């Protein structure tokens, strides 16, 4: 019982110690960088194209590429004008691909694969902007 009281007292003393003031000369961490909007918008448009192909062949319930877009926006554009630009780009890609391909054909997997390769190239380029 006495040991428990000592441990409790030590814990309370540790919690009650005053916080040390931060050094005013320390700089605030830099805000997170974003990739150039043009690059990210190109990727968003590519994702829109891939989504159009996928839903044309698999139906509107297939959200594979749309989910990639939502993940991209959560990192690159959680809100504001940047998010609106990416949404516009995704929709532009979706509409453009729907104008080019109006029905699901045997060639659609190849079209989707080509779009996916382009998306991978753009993703790699965007990732490199964070490394430089």
* pLDDT tens, per residue, the chain with 132 residues: 443 443 444 444 444 545 555 555 666 665 556 778 999 999 999 999 999 999 999 999 999 999 999 999 999 998 899 999 999 999 999 999 999 998 999 999 999 999 999 999 999 999 999 887
Q: Does 37 map to a domain?
A: yes
Q: 71 lies in which domain range?
A: 33-131
Q: Does 13 map to a domain?
A: no
Distances (CA, A) of 119 to 37, 81, 113, 123: 15, 22, 10, 6
Q: Does 117 map to a domain?
A: yes
* Spatial separation of the C-alpha atoms in residues 87 and 17, rounded to whole Å: 50
How many domains does the structure of the chain reveal? 1
């Amino acid at each position: 019982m006495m040991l428990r009281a000592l441990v409790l007292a030590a814990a309370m003393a540790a919690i009650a110690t005053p916080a040390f003031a931060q050094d005013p000369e320390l700089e605030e961490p830099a805000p997170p960088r974003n990739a150039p909007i043009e690059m990210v918008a190109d990727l968003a448009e590519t994702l829109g194209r891939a989504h159009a192909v996928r839903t044309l062949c698999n139906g509107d319930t297939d959200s594979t590429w749309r989910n990639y877009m939502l993940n991209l926006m959560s990192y690159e554009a959680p809100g504001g004008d940047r998010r609106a630009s990416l949404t516009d780009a995704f929709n532009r890609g979706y509409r453009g691909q729907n104008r080019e391909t109006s029905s699901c054909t045997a060639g659609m997997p190849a079209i989707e694969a080509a779009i996916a390769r382009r998306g991978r190239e753009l993703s790699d380029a965007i990732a490199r902007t964070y490394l430089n």
